[in-house]
Amino acid sequence: MFDVLVIGGGHAGCEAACAAARRGARVALLTFRADDLGQMSCNPSVGGVGKGHLVREVDAMGGIMARAADRAAIHRRMLNASKGSAVRGPRVQADRQLYRTAVAQMVRETGVAVVEGEVVALLFAGGTVAGIELADGASIEARAIVLATGTFLGATMFRGEERWTGGRQGGQAAAGLGGQIRELGLAQGRLKTGTPPRLDGRTIDWSRTQTQPSDRTAWTMALAPNLAPLPQLSCAITRTNARSHDVIRAGLGRSPLFAGAIEGRGPRYCPSIEDKVHRFGDRDGHQIFLEPEGLANHLVYPNGISTSLPADVQLEVVRSIPGLERTDIVQPGYAVEYEYADPRRLDPTLQHREVGGLFFAGQLNGTTGYEEAAAQGLVAGLNAAAVALNLAEARFDRGTSYIGVMVDDLTLQGVSEPYRMLTARSEYRLHLRADNAVSRLGPMALELDALDDEHAALVRERIQAKAKAAAALQLVTSGTELGLSDPGRKPLADWARREDLLGRIREKLPDHAASDEAIDDAAYAPYLTRLNSELAAREKDRRLAIPPAFDFTQVPGLSNEMRERLGQAGPADIDQAARVPGVTPAALSALHFALVRQAA
């Protein structure tokens, strides 16, 4: 008998299994193929704006994604590097095979038992889970179960007129388990995702593309240092054009997306190329990032042309793009339609409200992306161990983590389309930076005993270094000591708000990343004070009226998704806006601020 069983060896499942094991649970991870642990089935990258924040938070809680990304990183890029640290997004391009190897190694080092097989049914006893049944008739008992089936539940693949079952290219669908999930009423509906064709990089004319080199500045995704960095490769940028769009339009009749074969809604923030051309017909082109998939192969991932068009149309589209005129497709793109569960039936620990000991994580909950899946796996794994071993729950607050924002959004608002983490989803985004994840979540991780000894020591060291740097910033210093003619004296933290003085201030602090974090804290302090005042005012002004003809598209900081939801609902005041399904607290803050400014 195991304490925790995790079904699915993707990003959610691996994080869940390791998180539960770190808390002392006996864990088994069930997967079709052990070789597929940590498979990067779509984009071979980890991180980005919002997503990179999640990865750093998972790492602060002892997770494995950041360390695997560092071990496999062949291209590093800090997105929004020229902007404030709150919106900078660490992102790495990973070697697929090295990433998968790193994940598998860490899963086994954590003490997780990996079991190959197909789970066909969940077993129950008195309203709680009791174990699972395998296709070969064997059964395994457990006190808690994490379902992390990704896109494998009742999945169908689409490419032009082709149809087949499977969770991704080469994988089989979880048909038996999917049938039981439907019978139990746990399934909510179907969603859609997709992937672009993979290209042979040797047939690309790189001279006709814009080179995007890896960052020169050394940084890591994980708190732990990367002792053996890999050779760094460049990515490249090209664009579709009028000819590309003509080819796509001519092929729409053969697209399952437009022929009505696909019912599920796809990700708003990562639409297929045929959807982009159809919806944004006035655009003269769409950007494509050419991203290498590994050091030992020639595959290239063309980020930006996800598609389910027939293979012959895909080839014609690819060869219409500058630099790709003679490019060969190694594997055509395809779409996947799969079943998902309603996350509103989960509590904040991701345990099902009606079935004790059953946790859901990852794309099963209607999310999209490796990072969102890993973060949910972490939450589910920590709490599955808590149920099995009678430990303290791990609850994440939206004021202190993007993990908390995501869990809150999912369990309260649900999804009508695949959910993607964006910094705009958080009303506390000025505080939730990628560089201060350890300061925000490290104490919680230590309290929950969610870290191994080595990681716990690193977290304690970082927290102590940050405290020393913050204390040093409170030292009163005159302007003349910083090379100014101003003899005024005030804390270094106040001087730190002047960008021209940052170099001199850093010289007075310990040489540690924690010092830069403390300086950023000081720089953001006035804005955070104002933010807290605005949030308090929003709660006070819940009956603030919204004019009947109010134009939500003109609200700064409001995403297109929120504008669409609010515009369709037409709420009369802030209170009604708060009850519109899918509208986030961050959107309410932006709306409140716009209304107050309009009334002034």
**What is the domain-level CATH number for residue 368?**
3.50.50.60
Distance CA 526, CA 129 (A): 49
Q: Report strand pairing: 358-360 vs 139-147.
A: parallel
pLDDT of residue 450: 97
Nearest to 383 by CA among 391, 372, 374: 391
Full domain range(s) for residue 553: 543-599
Distance CA 431, CA 445 (A): 19
| Type and span of the H or E element at 391 | none
Are 155 and 50 part of one and the same domain? Answer: yes
pLDDT of residue 172: 63
* Boundary-marking domain end, from 334, 360, 389: 334
Are 190 and 203 part of one and the same domain? Answer: no
Residue 23 DSSP SS3: coil
Q: HSE, CB side, 13 Å, CA atoms: give it for residue 29.
A: 33
* Boundary-marking domain end, from 485, 500, 534: 534
Residue 302 DSSP SS3: strand
Are 234 and 139 part of one and the same domain? Answer: no
Q: Report strand pairing: 162-165 vs 156-159.
A: antiparallel
**Domain count for the chain:** 4
**What is the domain-level CATH number for residue 273?**
2.40.30.260
pLDDT of residue 49: 95
Are 177 and 213 part of one and the same domain? Answer: no
pLDDT of residue 321: 98
Are 215 and 171 part of one and the same domain? Answer: no
Q: Report strand pairing: 89-94 vs 73-79.
A: antiparallel
Are 240 and 369 part of one and the same domain? Answer: no
Are 88 and 58 part of one and the same domain? Answer: yes
* Domain annotation covers residue 278: yes
Give the number of residues written for the chain: 600
* Domain annotation covers residue 480: yes
* Domain annotation covers residue 454: no
* Domain annotation covers residue 452: no
Residue with tokens 């979540």: 441
Are 47 and 189 part of one and the same domain? Answer: yes
Q: HSE, CB side, 13 Å, CA atoms: give it for residue 568.
A: 9
Integer-rounded Cα Rg, in Å, for the chain is: 25
Which residue type is seen at 255?
S
pLDDT tens per residue, the chain (600 residues)?
A: 999 999 999 999 999 999 999 999 999 999 989 998 999 988 999 999 999 999 999 999 999 999 999 999 999 999 999 998 999 999 999 999 999 999 999 999 999 999 999 999 999 998 899 999 999 999 999 999 999 998 888 788 899 999 888 766 555 666 678 778 888 888 778 998 889 999 999 999 999 999 999 999 889 999 988 778 899 999 999 999 999 999 999 999 998 888 788 877 888 878 899 989 988 878 899 999 999 999 999 999 999 999 999 999 999 999 999 999 999 999 999 999 888 999 999 999 999 999 999 999 999 999 999 999 999 999 999 999 999 999 999 999 998 999 999 999 999 888 888 999 999 889 899 999 999 999 999 999 999 999 999 999 999 999 999 999 999 999 999 989 888 888 889 999 999 888 888 888 888 888 778 999 999 999 899 988 888 887 788 778 888 899 988 999 999 988 888 998 899 888 988 888 888 888 888 888 889 989 988 876
**What is the domain-level CATH number for residue 552?**
1.10.150.570
Residue with tokens 């940084």: 219
Distance CA 575, CA 567 (A): 15
Are 257 and 292 part of one and the same domain? Answer: yes
* Boundary-marking domain end, from 485, 506, 534: 534
Residue with tokens 């102590």: 464
pLDDT of residue 174: 65
Are 11 and 159 part of one and the same domain? Answer: yes
Are 152 and 260 part of one and the same domain? Answer: no
* Domain annotation covers residue 71: yes
Per the CB < 8 A criterion, the answer to whether 339 and 239 are in contact is no
Q: Report strand pairing: 2-7 vs 139-147.
A: parallel
Per the CB < 8 A criterion, the answer to whether 567 and 553 are in contact is yes
* Domain annotation covers residue 263: yes
For residue 447, give both structure tokens: 């309290």
Output the CA–CA distances (angstroms, integers) from residue 105 to 41, 47, 68, 453, 520, in the order listed.
Answer: 19, 21, 9, 18, 36
What is the 8-class DSSP label of residue 481?
Answer: G
pLDDT of residue 369: 93
Are 123 and 245 part of one and the same domain? Answer: no
Residue 85 DSSP SS3: helix
Instruction: Convert 220-261 into a string of H (helix), E (strand) and C (coil).
Output: CCCCCCCCCCCCCCCEEEEECCHHHHHHHHHHHHHCCCCCCC
* Domain annotation covers residue 450: no
* Domain annotation covers residue 84: yes
Output the CA–CA distances (angstroms, integers) from residue 316 to 31, 202, 231, 313, in the order listed.
Answer: 37, 18, 33, 5
